[in-house]
Structures are given as C-alpha cells and as structure tokens.
Structure 1
Amino acid sequence: MTTRLSAMSTRELYVVGDRLDRDSLWLTFLDSFPAGTNRRFRERSEYDCSTCRGFIKNVGTVVEIHDGQVRTVWSGVSASDPVFSVVAAAMDEFVRTLPLTGIFRTAEAQYGAKTTRTLRDGQVEVWHHLHGRVDKRHRTRDAGAARGDFDAAVQVLERGLAELAPQALDTVADLIDGNALYRGTEHRRAVAEFRSLQNRWAQAVDRRAFVFANATSPAARFRNTVIGTLVQDLSAGVGLEQAVRSFEAKVAPQNYKRPTALITPAMVRAAMRTIDDLGIEESLQRRFARLSDVSVTNVLWVDNDIQPRMKDGLEGLLMRAATTRPSGAGPRDGKPEEIPVVAFLKDVLPGAASIDLWVANSHEPHFVSLTTGRHPDAPRLFTWDNDFAWSYGGNVTDSIKERVKRAGGNVTGKLRVSLSWFNHDDLDLHVFEPNGDHIWYQEKRNKLDVDMNAGGAFSREPVENVTWTGIVPDGEYRIEVNQYNKRESTDAGFVIETESNGKIEHYRYDRAVGHKETVEVGRMTVTGEVITAFRPGKDMQAGSVGRDLWGITTEQFVPVSTVMYSPNYFDGNEVGNRHYFFMLKGCVNDQPTRGIYNEFLRGDLQPHRKVFEVLGDRTKCEPTPDQLSGLGFSSTVRDSVLAKVTMTGGRRRLMSIQF
C-alpha cells in the first residue's frame, strides 16, 4: 500500500464517496478478512487499530484517473500473505462502486505509521500498520478552499459540456472565421479547445471521470467566459442577431459598428432564390475527385501504372509516348541540384519514368486534395470552366513550434530550444549555459516557459520550451533530457527543435527513456547569438520523427502518382494564381473537406458570399479511399521540395525543386 500510494502521489489524485462511505469502507476492511484470520486480541480483533483506521478513512477512498478509467489506491495491490491480497481486492471492489466527489487535498504529509510499540509484561511489542506519505503537490494549508475551487470548476465544465450545443459552437466559430464578431479572433482558440473537449467527452466511457481529469484545463471554465455566454444564448434558442448584440455590448465600445453583416434568414432566402434561378443546387454537392475524373490532357506527368485508369487514359498514354524526349544531365556529386519548377516541368518531366517526393513534417500545410461535383452535368460554380477545385489541409499543421505557441510558449526570441514527445511521460528539458547556469523546471531563469505533463491533465502532444529574448551568451551550451516520471511504454522517444536566425533544425531520440534516466542531447555552439555548430550526443539522430498523416509517413520519400496544375489552369484556363500539385500514392485525406471557397465563386454568386461561406462549411466532401491528394505549392510563395527522379533510361537524379 505504501508503494502504491507513493506511485499514485506523483499524479493528480481524487476522492470518491462521502463520510458515511468511509465508515462503510472501514467495516468492509474488517469484514473482508477470511474467517479465522482476524483473531481477537485482548479486547478487539487483531487488525482493528486506530492507526490503520485513520489511514483507511483518510486515504482509502483516494483514486487516480488513468486513460479515462478510475483506479483506486487498492488497485493491483498484492502481498506475500494471500490474506491481505484478498482484503485489497475487496477494498478495490467496494471503492470502485463509489462516485467521484472531489479532488484530494490535505494539510497532512503522512497518514498512518509504519510501526508502533507497546510494553507488555516487560516486553516490547512491535506493530506494523498501513501507512503512506503524500506528495507535496497534494498538500495545502487550506485544503477546504482548494477542494471548493475544484468543485466549482467541475460544475462549470460539466454544465458547459452538457448544455452548450455543438451547433452553437460551430456557429460562433463560423462568425469568428468570417470576421463577424468584434475581436472574435481572440476567442478562436478557446472555442476550438472547448469543442475538442466536448467531442472527447461525448465519446468517453466514463464521462464523470473525463470531467474530473479535465477540470483544471484552460477550457474548463469556457461556459463562464464572455464568448461562452454567446454560445449559451445560441444554445438556449436566442436569435443570432440578438445573441451577438448581447455579446458586443459586453466587449465592444459604445461607438462600435460591425463591419460585416451576419447571415440572416433573409440573406439565406435571397441566396436560395439566386441558386434556384441559376439551377445550381446540384452543383453544391461536392466530393473528392478520383483519377478517373481527370483527363490526362490536364496533367503534366502521370505514373505509367496509374495512367490507364485516368479519363482518356489509353489515347493519352500513346500520345505521351510519341512525344517523350530524353532529359538533360544530372548532378555528379550526389547533392541535390536546384532547379526552378518551370525548368523541372519543361526539361525533366517528359523523360521521367518515376518520381518520389521527400515529404517533410514542414510540408504539412501543403497537403492538398482535389474536389469535384457529384453531378458532372450540373452548372459550374467557379470562375474557371470546369467543376474541379482544391482544398489545402492547413488545419493539420502540428509542428513543434506550433505546439509551443498553443501551449503559451514564446517562439519569437533570438534563440530557442524546444522538446517534444508523444505520450504521458514527464520529460524535463535541461540546458546548461556557457557560464554554468542551469535552466530547468526548478531554475527557469525567465527562459523556460512551458513545462507539460508535470501534473494536472496529461497531453499526448507535450512540449517544453526554453527561449532567449535578451542577450544570448557566446559559447558552448549543453542540452539534456531527463525522464522525471515514466508513465507509458508506447510512442517512446523525443525530438529536440532548435531555432536561431530563422533556421530550424531537429534532432531525435528513437529509444524509450527509462525512469530517472538522463539523455545527453548534444552540445550547441553559439556565436553572435546564432547556432554555428551542434554535436549530437550518443544515439541522437539529425532530423524529425516521421508522422503518420493522410495515410503516408512523413520524413521519407513517397511515390508520386501524377503532377498537375491547379484546376484554374486546366483546359487552357489561366485564372488567378497557379498551384503545382504532386499527387501521392496512398495519400488519403481522412477528414471532411470543404469543396466550395468564396474566392473560387463566379461573379454572379459573389453578392451571396456570406451564405456560401456557410454552405461550404455545411456541404463538405466526405472522405473516400480513391481520392486525389498530395502536396501543393503556390507560384506566389517561395518554397522547395526534394524529388528523386528515375529517368526512362534508368538514370536517377536528386533535385530540389524551387517554387
């Protein structure tokens, strides 16, 4: 029991039941001993002592929440004497029947006593008892106030999760995205975090346990925030205009005038009249595009294994074979040759037999899907003369830098060192400056600003962050990672991200870090506030850890199925900015995706932009396995991608395509 309580005490603890239940727990303890094993000693039974009774009544109802399940202080307790294993099992069964009632806070450091001694007939008798020490994180001078604050947070979160309608949250998110709320962008993150919390709560096996485990999260008190009151009003059936006016009365100055109108029923009716008059209702039904939808005349290159499946595939295949020409010379030193995308399309693609693209984690905002209409003969919606469109998956961006920003860390300093890992372990980042100063969670020195999974709610996307905003001393910095508390064996390893002078580099550790183990990440040399050298430690490797995304794994080469322009450049169209799409084999967008964007709409639909914004969000394309998805790059944004090209003669070329 001492060992179990000590292990649990490093995490957040809760209590179940009430005072009467604690009395019943004590009786359960006494009654659970098998017949004949709790003999009468003097006036009372052998295990009926005030020391053990105090321990059981104060600590016996303590529980933890692990992976959404309640586990008691008796869970998994066993002893060499089978009698006590029977008792622990009975106690565990009883405690698991009691409801969660609060957080565990106490002013006491110790419950019970390891031993006590009595004197009988001149002989000293030693008695052993249930006992355990409580970690300082659970101790406070005013335990009642701490429990009261937690109870209030639970009530607010529980009411918010149950009462705030998902549709109302979506409406507020749409208003923010449409810039229709005064200073609405300030609340975008809060709305998204609460919506995510509500989705996970709806799927939780034990919703009460979920509420307790998340009651200390920033999103817990969303219902009582100013943006939360707007969601409350909409959930209660208050009209959109009235609810927004009430919100703006709380946050906007008296002379504020909304720059854009809200979507009203009258606007919807007007838009529907236009849709009916133009006969484009069927055009609003969108889906992911397939290979068979796209003519080979609208692609720049297609893999030979894929081409016969495309529209006009056989004829296009023969025509392409008739016009194939050899490629130019490639690099001799094995380094990537830099080539502008226009030259790549003109001089390399015609002679390419296969193309593999290096998909880096940094390319996540470039993931793109091609969409089209469900009804091929329906009128066109867009300013170009076909029914294809595209949708970037920028919402999947999840770089370490983005994680740090979401966690409230500073990513704008002169020098940054960030740690990222992938499970509930409590890893700690340690940085030793050239003068010997040690930056860690006990000595943050105004540089360490994020320390996750140390307590409270645990994350599977944790980070720690050290940023220098002032003077960055020259010299050698030593970086270490310590496993303060190992909680899991899955998703082991970690990644270190460094940034200086706009350059970001990654170093990864692919092994599990043992309990209390310290890993030397490396030694970093800084000159003139810029990282000039980095010597990785043992078992550290340069580069990021690959992530599973859209059916492929990043940080490796992925085969390309076809290369094409964006649909606004199909069939001789030249409307707006050109994009270059590299569709990848096995790349499948697994999220519902917008098929309509206002910037694509033809001119006669522009007066109804607000309504079409809502329509685009409500008529998303549902995921399908045979879609066209991959990486896209805009002609207006400087970027690059590494390609491994095998020419028709078997020669291989490594190229850095420049956009």
Structure 2
Amino acid sequence: MDDFQQFTADVASRLSAMSKGELYVVGDGLDRDSLWLTFLESFPAGTNPRFRERSAYDCSTCRGFVKNLGNVVEIRDGHVRTVWSGVSASDPVFSVVAAAMDEFVGTLPLSGIFRSAEAQYGAKTTRALRDGKVEVWDHLHGQVEKRYRTPDVGAARGTFDAAVQVFQRGLAELTLDALDTVIDLIDDNALYRGEEHHRAVTEFRSLRNRWTEAADGRAFVFANAVNPAARFRNTVIGTLVQDLSAGVDLEQAVRAFETKVAPQNYQRPTALITPAMVKAAMRTIDELGIEESLQRRFARLSDVSVTNVLWVDNDTQSRMKDGLEGLLMQAATTSPGARLRDAKPEEIPVITFMKDILPGAASIDLWVANSHEPHFVSLTTGRNPDAPRLFRWNNDFGWSYGGNVTDSIRERVKRAGGNVTGKVRVSLSWFNHDDLDLHVYEPDGTHIWYQDKRDKLDVDMNASSPLSREPVENVTWAGRIADGEYRIEVNQFRKRDTGDGGFVIETESNGRIEHYRHDRAVGQKETVEVGRMTVAGEVITAFRPGTDMRHGNAAKDVWGVTTEQFVPVSTVMYSPNHFDDNEVGNRHYFFMLKGCENDQPARGIYNEFLRGDLQPHRKVFEVLGDRTKCEPSPDQLSGLGFSSTVRNSVVAKVTMTGGRRRLVSIQF
C-alpha cells in the first residue's frame, strides 16, 4: 500500500468513526473551490508532481470528496473536530496536508447540520488503460450513511436551523433569576398543575448553566439543539419565564400563564409574593411586635374557658379550663330508655337544637358520614398566651377545616380545576392509575364524554401522563339542565393497575351530596352502568343505582374517627369569632368528637382572620400561614364544623337527662 493509498484510507476511516454521532458542516456561504485550492496548496513544494497535464493529486474524484465532505465536522466533548483531525499518514507529506486542512476547516464557523442527497462522494479506486496496461488509482472517498441522506437537504437543514435559533434565543433571553422564580412557584404549588412543568424548567436551567461554562458556546448550542429541552422558550411555561425575564410583574405574568393553561374557574392555591412584599410585611411585624404571635398550635380542652362552650360531655368536664362543676350542668343520670327506632330523624333547625335540646342532653353522638369529610375541623391557638393578638376578635383562637387530609371528591375536583358550583354535578373518583371514563347520556340522547365534552365535562384525568392515584372526572351543568332521566356509565378505557380497584360516583344538587360506590375492579374495556338519575326543576329528585352499585361510601378512618357510624361528642361550641361577646363574621357550630385527632399539620393563620392593620400584607400572611402550620399533637380539639351560612345537616343521637333518647337531623 503506497503512501497516498494509506492517506485516503485514514481519511475514510476518520469519516466513518465520526458518523457514529451527529455530523455538522462549517463555513456558511463558503466557496467550495477554496476548500479544493487549500487542499492542493497544502502540499509542500515539489511533492505534488505533474502527471500528464495536471498535478498528480488533482482529479475530479478527489475534488468531489473535498468540496462535499471536506468541511464536515463533529462536536466531541464540547469541541469541534474536522474530518482531517488526527489523520497522521506514514508519509510526512500527507500529514502536512491533513494538518493544513484541519487548521483551515477548524477556523470556519459552524453553519448547519450535515445532510446529503448522495450516498457517496469520491471513489476508493478508479482504473484506466495506458499503453495496454490497466492502471489503478487511489482517491479520497467517503460513504454517507443512510441516516444522513435525504432528498430534501434544504428542508432538513432549515428545520435544524430553526431549532438552533429557538435554543439560542432562549439561552440569551431567559434569565437564571426568572427560571429560579418559576421553580420556586412550582415548589410552592403556586402554579396551575405546575409540577407537570418542573422537569422542563430544571432541564433548561441545567442546559443554560452548562452553556455559560462551555468553552465553545456555539458548539454547545449545535450539539444540544435537538434536545427537547432546547425548545423550552417556545413552550407555555417558557412564555412565563420570558415575561419574568423581560421584567413583567410577577402577578401579571402568572395570570397570563394561567389564562393559557388553567380552566376559567381556577383559583391559585397560594399567594404570590416578592422579596419587596416580604420586607414590607416584616417591617410591620417588627413594629407591632407580633412575631411570637405567628407561632401556632392545636388547642386543647384546657385552653378553652367554660364560658365559651355550649355543652360538654360528663367525662370531659374536669379537663376544661376554669372547671365546670356547677357551671354548665349537673351530672346526668342515665337509665335504659326506649330504643331508638329506625324512623326518619326529626328535622330540627340548629337554633332550636341549641335552645331546646342541648341544655338537657346527657350525651350526644353524631353520625359521621363520608360526605362530612370536608367538615372536619380543628381549633387552634397561639403558643405564647401573652403575645399580641393577630385576629379581628378578642381572643387568640382560630380554626382550620380539612388540614391536609385526603380531599373529598368535591375538593379533588376543585383542585383539578373542575366546576363544583353548578346546579347539578356528577363526579367520578377512583384510586389507582387506571384510565376510567365518565359517560352521561342526557334525556334527549346527547352523549357527554371525553370526545364530546359539551362544555360540561371539565376534568379528565389519567388519560396520559402525569398519572394520579387520586384521579377524578367531572360533569357539571352550570346553566339550564333539562328535566328527565339521565343515564350514567363508567368505562375502563385503559387498565394499568391490579390493586385499589372500584370507584365512587358523587352527585350534588341543591346542596345535597350523595355517593354511590362500585367495589369491584373494572376490567379492560368493561362498562359499568352506574344508574339512572332523575332531574325535575333543575334538582335531582331520584337516583336508581345500577346492579353492581351500592349507595354510600365504604367506611374509612379520618383523623382517628371511623366514618359511616355514630361517634360520641365531647363538647359543642361556637367558632372563636363568637366566643364571649364577639360577633365577628359568620358563626360556625363545632361538635368536637372523642378520639378525633388531626394527624396532619394544619394552618393556624388565615387571611380572613387577620386584624385590619395586617390586611395590607395579606399575600405575605397567606404564605406564612402555609409555612407555619400547627404540628399534630395529642389531646387536641377536633371534630365536625358547620357554617351558619351554608345549607347542611347532620344526624345526632341524643340521650336526654332522665334517659329519653331522640334521633334528630340538625339543619344548618
């Protein structure tokens, strides 16, 4: 093998090795003849002898290779390397040629991705007949692998050029501060379904950091332009980062983002605050000396004065603040009374219950239904009794509904962006990664489902990632709903899990919530007939469950209390804003339950509670309330609470002093 043959083999081998990765070209607008002239002129004087009319290495075959593949490069470890890089022939002449070509091509700017309509440039050998003898000539040659070949080179390069432009603009325009702010908003649950965008933001931020540290920024852009994260600037979350990078106000930028992605009735779960707002709030906190007041805990029986309870169970009296002997009630004597009949409970307004029944009650048990889950409430108070008050009323007590327990179906729907304020609502809830679909057929045959939502189905979960183990689907009639019979079905579109099967349907109408459960797992493509719902006068008047459906939810444990059964009441009280002589805002009725203990951190501060001089800092206190929660503790006051302004009811089994028993439905 002569020296030129070895040189051409080395160049071909180099191109083959480069082709394992992506290939690029340099020299946008480069006159390809300059590549060829550089190649010819790189031979040291006297080393490219004349053959016949021209130089020995001046042939159309080698020219085709040099002009079409001579400016092909790879990007390795952040650096551009040419097809000539590292080619070291046994003959020093060709080593000089390779080095000269590497130096020239290496100075040219990256201009695009390499694509070709041809399968090969140059040829390994050609043959010619001279003086009756066959002569074999070696040439520069290179095979273009199939993945680099396309009939429309311009379109392929145009697509890549557009990706480069988007990536470059994103790197130049999107600031690290804006990216960090959006990551903080997502971590604080302050963006609608923000967790879905967390990976995209963090991946682009990582690319941007690596770009700033790269030795060759343009090479980094080219090497990563086809990374999905490189398109970040043109994504919906990227527009939020653009706005923040351009100096748009935080609230305005987030509102613009939510306009694009969130349902119309979506309400952000946490407030947005800026460092300036935090500093202003901290100045007020320091001036008023209320920093200690921000430390909250669950309230105990011993915290509450006897003057602020309406009724207390015998076993609870001795634990009350100030003692109860002779103040609230005498020890009740109980005797075996007549058994409670299974008759319908008598409906009694809460005011009548408080006035006529509560004073003579020896014991009270509440029927705690699953539908009461949103009504679980805890009483809270300050850790430092002598700290200045935070709230509008003259005591340090507050209350918190729900804590961080698993949301009710209604709350799950709200959290997912669904409408829960319509005239009639039908919601589906299940407990695994399956893709169940809710189908509703209206009286006129209109079919409401995920392919034809009719502006009524507004939540459709687990159809694709991200998957949830607390999924819901929701159909709400916000406007007029026709009278007649509605058929409801649930279909298993895609079964993914074997555990936690079954589902629950929740209906709501005129303030009344009902549940119907299906305890068996739903098979692949199986359809379950949930039931027939009758609507008259825009109210659900009847519901006929399907064969496999059961009315009500299965009992479950919430805060140490088992639902769907009677639970003893320890004490009854108004909400703290109506303690003593206070009458600030809506009254709530609290039925504290024996053994009821909130096992999750609960908010001790709500903006609705704050006194007037703290109202200008509502956004900061919204965040403080979320980050200074009361930690779970034993001997807490927790139970069920009902607002005087919301229609509701609860069934109570009351044993009166003297032994008489009554079954009443307390109406709020």
What is the TM-score with the length of structure 1 in the denominator?
A: 0.57
Amino acid at match of 1:582: F
> Structure 2 CA distance, aligned partners of 1:404 and 1:606?
30
2:226 aligned with 1:194: no
2:314 aligned with 1:301: no
Paired residue secondary structure (2:469):
coil
Aligned to 1:282: 292
Paired residue secondary structure (1:191):
coil
Paired residue secondary structure (1:316):
coil
Aligned to 2:504: 495
2:376 aligned with 1:351: no
- 1:245-264 equivalences in 2 (<5 Å): 247=253, 263-264=276-277
Contact residue 404 and residue 602 of structure 2 kept, 8 A: no
Aligned to 2:395: 386
2:593 aligned with 1:584: yes
Cα distance change, pair 634–505 in 1 and its aligned pair in 2 (3 A) = closer
Amino acid at match of 2:330: A
> Structure 2 CA distance, aligned partners of 1:443 and 1:574?
50
Contact residue 511 and residue 647 of structure 2 kept, 8 A: no
Contact residue 314 and residue 332 of structure 2 kept, 8 A: no
Paired residue secondary structure (1:306):
helix
Following superposition, the deviation at residue 287 of structure 1 comes to 1.4
Amino acid at match of 2:185: L
2:554 aligned with 1:537: no
- Residue from 263, 267, 291 that aligns with 2:280: 267
2:235 aligned with 1:224: no
Identity of aligned residues (%): 69
2:389 aligned with 1:369: no
Aligned to 1:316: 324
> Structure 1 CA distance, aligned partners of 2:541 and 2:349?
29
Following superposition, the deviation at residue 244 of structure 1 comes to 3.8
Following superposition, the deviation at residue 274 of structure 1 comes to 2.0
> Structure 2 CA distance, aligned partners of 1:360 and 1:273?
45
> Structure 2 CA distance, aligned partners of 1:546 and 1:477?
28
Paired residue secondary structure (2:591):
strand
Aligned to 2:577: 568
> Structure 2 CA distance, aligned partners of 1:358 and 1:293?
27
Aligned to 2:636: 627
Aligned to 1:651: 660
User: For residues 548-600 of structure 1, what are the alpha-carbon distances to aligned partners after superposition, in whole Å with 9 as ceiling and x for unaligned?
Assistant: 44343444433322111222333444444433211123333344333334554
Following superposition, the deviation at residue 334 of structure 1 comes to 2.1
User: For residues 296-324 of structure 1, what are the alpha-carbon distances to aligned partners after superposition, in whole Å with 9 as ceiling and x for unaligned?
Assistant: 33222222233323333xx4145444386
- 1:519-558 equivalences in 2 (<5 Å): 519-526=528-535, 531-546=540-555, 548-558=557-567
Following superposition, the deviation at residue 191 of structure 1 comes to 0.9
Contact residue 559 and residue 585 of structure 1 kept, 8 A: yes
> Structure 2 CA distance, aligned partners of 1:342 and 1:415?
29
Cα distance change, pair 517–524 in 1 and its aligned pair in 2 (3 A) = same
Cα distance change, pair 377–388 in 1 and its aligned pair in 2 (3 A) = same
Aligned length: 466
Structure 1: gaps (5+ residues): 1-18, 22-141, 174-188, 203-214, 253-259
Cα distance change, pair 231–625 in 1 and its aligned pair in 2 (3 A) = farther
Q: Could you say which structure has the larger radius of gyration?
A: 2
Following superposition, the deviation at residue 608 of structure 1 comes to 6.2
Cα distance change, pair 645–489 in 1 and its aligned pair in 2 (3 A) = farther
Structure 2: gaps (5+ residues): 1-18, 22-155, 203-228, 259-272
User: For residues 625-647 of structure 1, what are the alpha-carbon distances to aligned partners after superposition, in whole Å with 9 as ceiling and x for unaligned?
Assistant: 33212222333444332222233
- 1:328-477 equivalences in 2 (<5 Å): 334-393=343-402, 398-404=407-413, 407=416, 416-432=425-441, 450-466=459-475, 476-477=485-486
Aligned to 1:169: 185
- Residue from 521, 536, 548 that aligns with 1:512: 521
Amino acid at match of 1:641: V
> Structure 1 CA distance, aligned partners of 2:279 and 2:479?
55
RMSD of Structure 2 on Structure 1 (CA): 5.3
Amino acid at match of 2:598: N
> Structure 1 CA distance, aligned partners of 2:489 and 2:554?
18
Aligned to 1:107: none
